[in-house]
Amino acid sequence: MNKLLFFTNNENKKKEVENLFKNLKYKILSPSDMSLIFEPNEIGKSFIDNAKIKSSYGFNKFNIPCFADDSGICIEALSWKPNINSKNFLGSFKNKNDCFNYILKKVNKTKKNKAYFITSICLTLNEKHHIIFQGRLNGTISNKAMGQRGFGFDPIFKPFKFSKTLGEMDKEEKNKISHRSIAINKLINFLTN
Ligand code: ITT
């Protein structure tokens, strides 16, 4: 079975991606399987830059093909932020609910409720060979936080044409439509063709 390192420390991302790879002949390893806790600084100016920083780091450390995912949400009422700063933005509040309430208030005040998620995946095959795959999911910010599933901003994000949030969907439902699954399916297509 081919080994592929998925350089992430986010267990939820890992579960979503493992589910997408489940019928394929790839063994997906992660830094925790290799007893690595350290992660590089994500100092890039774009999702692509940051995905490449993480996949190059993983490849250099273990010398096996490595991919990484950099993702985030862009919210109209916040002038399309937090974008690449999504993790720090969420972490700057006392808890998730405070963050969600801040966003919901902004949406209410501005009457702008559009949002989208972006995922950039970088696959590093060797030091000079990096391939990028991307996915985007358009939607709106819901009227209130709903659902306990998923992670991050899932409870306040309603994909277009859906009446529930990503937080109300199970892994399989989210994987049918998500920004991450779009990018990962492009990666799988590349690996299997
Ligand atoms: P890595 O180890 O893979 O870097 P991370 O959690 O630091 O894990 P990112 O920098 O890509 O990952 O993600 C930024 C944040 O964006 C993440 O912590 C979530 O809060 C949010 N996010 C990313 N993907 C999401 C998704 O599918 N649903 C909800 N929120 C998401």
pLDDT at residue 40, as a whole number: 87
Domain holding 163: CATH number?
A: 3.90.950.10
Write out the residue range of the structural domain in which residue 92 sits.
3-192
3-state helix, strand, coil in the chain (%, to 5): 45, 25, 30
CA atoms within 13 A on the CB side of 129: 6
- Pocket probe for ligand 1: among 7, 13, 142, 179, the residue whose CB has the most ligand atoms within 8 Å is 13
For the chain, how big is the Rg over CA atoms in Å? 17
Beta-bridge partner residues of 32: none
Gap between the Cα atoms of 154 and 157, Å rounded: 5
Instruction: Tell me whether residue 70 is one of the annotated catalytic residues.
Output: yes
- Which of 50, 86, 166 has the most ligand 1 atoms within 8 A of CB, as the residue to mutate? 86
CA distance 30 to 59: 12
> Along the 193 residues of the chain, how does pLDDT read in single tens digits?
799 999 999 999 999 999 999 989 999 999 988 887 678 888 999 999 999 999 999 999 999 999 999 999 999 999 999 999 999 999 999 999 999 999 999 999 999 999 999 999 999 999 999 999 999 999 999 999 999 999 999 999 999 999 999 999 999 999 999 999 999 999 999 999 8
Q: Which residues line ligand 1 (CB under 6 A)?
A: 8-10, 13, 69-72, 86-87, 90, 117, 150-154, 178, 180
Domains in the chain, number:
1
> Is 135 in contact with 186 (CB distance < 8 Å)?
yes
Amino acid at 36: L
Q: Which residues pair with 132 in a beta bridge?
A: 122
